[in-house]
Chains A and B, each alone.
Chain A
Amino acid sequence: MEKNFIIAGFGGQGVLLAGTVLANAFMLDDKNVTWYPCYGAEMRGGTVNCEIVVSDTEVSSVHKQDTDYALVLNQQSFDRFVERVKAGGTIVANSTLVAEAKPRNDINYVFAPMTKLANDLGTSKVTNIVSLGVLTSVCEIISKDAMKKGIDKVIGAKKKDLLPLNYKAYESGLNALSLV
Chain B
Amino acid sequence: MENEKVLIKGNYAIAQAAVNAGCQCYFGYPITPQTEIGEYLSGKMQELGRGYVCAESELAAINMVMGAVSTGVKAMTSSSSCAVALMQEALSYAASDELPVVLVNVMRTGPGLGYIYPAQGDYNQSVYGGGNGDYKIIVLAPSTVQECIDYMYKAFYLAHKYRNPAILLADGLLGQMMEPATFGKYPYPEIDHSSWALSGAKGREARAIYSCAREEKKQIQHINNLFKKFEVIAKNETEWEEFMTEDADIILTAFGSMTRNIKAAMKVLRQKGIKVGCFRPITLSPFPYDRISELAKDGKDFIVVEMNMGQMFKDVKYAVNGKSQTSLVNRACGEWLSVEEIVSSVEKIMEKSYAASI
Contacts and interface: CB of A to CB of B under 8 A. Distances in A.
A39 B32 contact: yes
Nearest to B6: A27
Interface residues on B, range: 20 to 34
Q: Is the interface of A mostly helix, strand, loop or mixed?
A: mixed
Given A27-B7, A39-B116, A40-B116, A61 B178 contact: no
B116 A58 contact: no
Contacts, number: 60
B335 A36 contact: no
B177 A62 contact: yes
Contact of A35 (B5, B32, B116, B177): B177
B177 A61 contact: no
A24 B32 contact: no
Contacts of B32: 39-40
B173 interface: yes
Interface residues on A, range: 20 to 34
Contacts of A27: 5, 7, 180
B7 A60 contact: no
B7 A37 contact: no
A34 interface: yes
A61 B339 contact: yes
B263 interface: yes
Contact of B176 (A36, A59, A61): A36
A34 B177 contact: yes
B53 interface: no
A63 B173 contact: yes
Interface string B19-40: 0000000000000110000000
Interface string A25-45: 001000011111101110000
Interface of B: 5, 7, 32-33, 115-117, 172-173, 176-180, 260-261, 263-264, 335-336, 338-340
Which 7 A-B pairs have CB atoms at the shortest separation, nearest pair first? A60-B264, A35-B178, A61-B261, A27-B180, A36-B177, A40-B116, A60-B260
Interface of A: 2, 20, 23-24, 27, 32-37, 39-41, 58-65
